[in-house]
Structure 1
């Protein structure tokens, strides 16, 4: 427990020296905005409107109470705030921004293929225990990939285990969508063709965060699965090909839904790699099949195609991708905006291949994981 040792009043901030020698800087608006009384006691929503404060808001008085709380009497609004030192320390943006950011993501390459057991979880373990569910969620969040083993193989039988996380995301492909070979397909997934490693639905403004492919039957020749950690490939480019990395981060590409059955036109511009506020990897948006006619500035079109060529080939490089075969009862689960997936061609005359697919938003995985860890 850290105690407040000294308070110093500045023009725009209160500066606090802590008992361990650390210094925190607290902006007056930030303090007033986060007064414990600013929030409704039941909903916890902020009720106080900081926009009604004048730009001259300041601390008229500040001191430490006998209980060790920071007490601030404000220059306007006839209000006094009491801040718990533990809360102040945990939420101190001065100290947070001094720390070196450490990514939570565990990057992987083709060596994962030799240890697929490390990303598997048993279906009934997830269904019947919080430990199993937590392991699945941690794999999904930190590694971006997991294979659930020994699930039932009846149609729509993945719903109970998925509902252990949250609700699925509905799209016009329906839930679940049927990954089978059909005549006159409206998507290349519904053919026997090979599929290059790709992200699903890149032409949505917010593509589904996670995808779950539930294998019901896989008796045809071919149809082996592949996956690649797009974050690992992006990291390789960041360290070895700076100009290509910057192009992929800064120049939006164009994607388009080419489904002839739709009465809508969906297209979206987005960069191949996007980053978080901390400079970590956020999204990988890549799909040769659904990239639309690019409309970059003419001076950079050659540079964009060069970067796209390099990135796309690395996403299929055997140094990075893994290959495996889904068995009936497997649920191939992955971060759709990180781990790109594909398959080899299969012979529909040699047997049957039937997967059922489900989507879920990334918020649901992370929100459930945060709740269970708490």
Structure 2
């Protein structure tokens, strides 16, 4: 186990590994993240105190390690608190200089057409009956932002059973779910036989739906194959080619709008490539059909912006970036709508093509996955 070092002023605790790696923690952070019964509820893990309850002149006057437990004595509270060393190291924040914009969260894996031979896949009946199968599939969805499910019932609203495996349907102006088939006078181009460029759905919403499910009920028409593209891979390819183009698409907001039906006028203002305050790549919004006039880019940067926008679209359209498949009745696919773009090839009027779609949210998916992973960890212990 590591050794421990306390600064002279009692404000910094340093864990020192056997190899000499030093991981520092501030006294205020340690006190705020205590797990003693007076600080955290044993039932739900929520804090029982606010930051105002911690003395502003807080300090640590003693630190020692015994086995896997670090014990700290806090003043002026006159309070001794135990910490699990492994938990501290897993939550360390002493990471050195900030990272360059465009880094990916741990466990995220980008992909291109090579994923065609290894599409994340699960059988509906097995995933419903076996938590391990469901866990593995959800884990792949988290990693790749995309997955297929086969063997589902060929019946209306079957897609709602898919959503119920991990979360809840997010209702929109399109209803709890929507039909994807040719219509006369359609309110959306998705309801025609036209091919659609790879896009993320509903960029005109804020927040955008974070998971989309498309479920096949009929598919005898010629054509109509589905395609998916990893928006993170496309964004990082753009960055590698021209960092200034990545920067301009992440620096300035595009505008998106939908007013295709009576009583609906949805608008959002977000970057096409979204990074967090510390540079993590967290989202892509790309939908040419719903892009409104872009007015938030300064005049001197507009030409560069459009050059970047054009190239980003070319990368997305590159067949080397896409995974293509044709759904059969009872099959569906899911995408992380903040990351993965989906498309459709055009199809003829002969035969029939009927899909149903709905939206859900990624927090439900990640919550279900975390719960299943915790069950496995607890069983192993």
Task: Give RMSD over aligned pairs.
Answer: 2.5
Aligned residue number for residue 204 of structure 1: 205
Give the structure 2 partner of residue 338 of structure 1. Answer: 339
Secondary structure of the residue aligned to 1:193 is coil
1:142 equivalent in structure 2: 143
The corresponding residue for 1:187 is 188
* Residue of structure 1 in register with 2:9 after alignment: 10
> Displacement, 1:147?
1.7
SS of 1:175's partner is coil
CA deviation profile, 1:293-317 (whole Å, cap 9, x unmatched) = 1102222121111111110121111
Correspondences of 1:63-212 after superposition (within 5 Å): 63-64=63-64, 69-94=69-94, 103-113=106-116, 115=117, 118-212=119-213
Give the aligned partner of residue 62 of structure 1: 62
State whether residues 274 and 283 of structure 1, in contact with CA within 8 Å, keep that contact through their aligned partners in structure 2. yes
Is 2:27 the partner of 1:21? no
Q: In structure 1, the residue corresponding to 2:282 is in which secondary structure?
A: strand
Task: Give the structure 2 partner of residue 371 of structure 1.
Answer: 371
SS at match of 2:261: coil
Helix, strand or coil at the partner of 1:81: strand
Q: Partners of 1:133 and 1:294 in 2: how far apart?
A: 42
Task: Note the C-alpha offset of 1:364.
Answer: 1.5
Q: Evaluate the alpha carbon distance shift between residue 199 and residue 67 of structure 1 in structure 2; reply closer, same or farther with a 3 A threshold.
A: closer
Give the CA deviation at 1:265: 2.6
- Compared with structure 1, are the counterparts of its residues 17 and 79 closer, same or farther at alpha carbon in structure 2 (3 Å cutoff)? same
Matched residues in 1 for 2:204 and 2:176: separation? 19
User: Closer, same or farther in 2 for the Cα pair 1:111/1:31, shift >3 Å?
Assistant: closer
**Shift in alpha-carbon separation, 1:4–1:95, aligned structure 2, 3 A:** farther
Pair 1:321 & 2:285 matched: no
Q: Please, which runs of 5 or more residues in structure 1 have no aligned partner?
A: none
Contact 1:62/1:72, CA 8 A, preserved across alignment: yes
Helix, strand or coil for the counterpart of 2:369? helix
Contact 1:12 1:28 in 2 (8 A): yes
For structure 2, the residue ranges without an aligned partner over 5 or more in a row are: 375-381
Whole-angstrom CA distance in 2 between matches of 1:135 and 1:277:
31
- Cα shift at 1:78: 4.2
User: Alignment partner of 1:127: what SS?
Assistant: helix
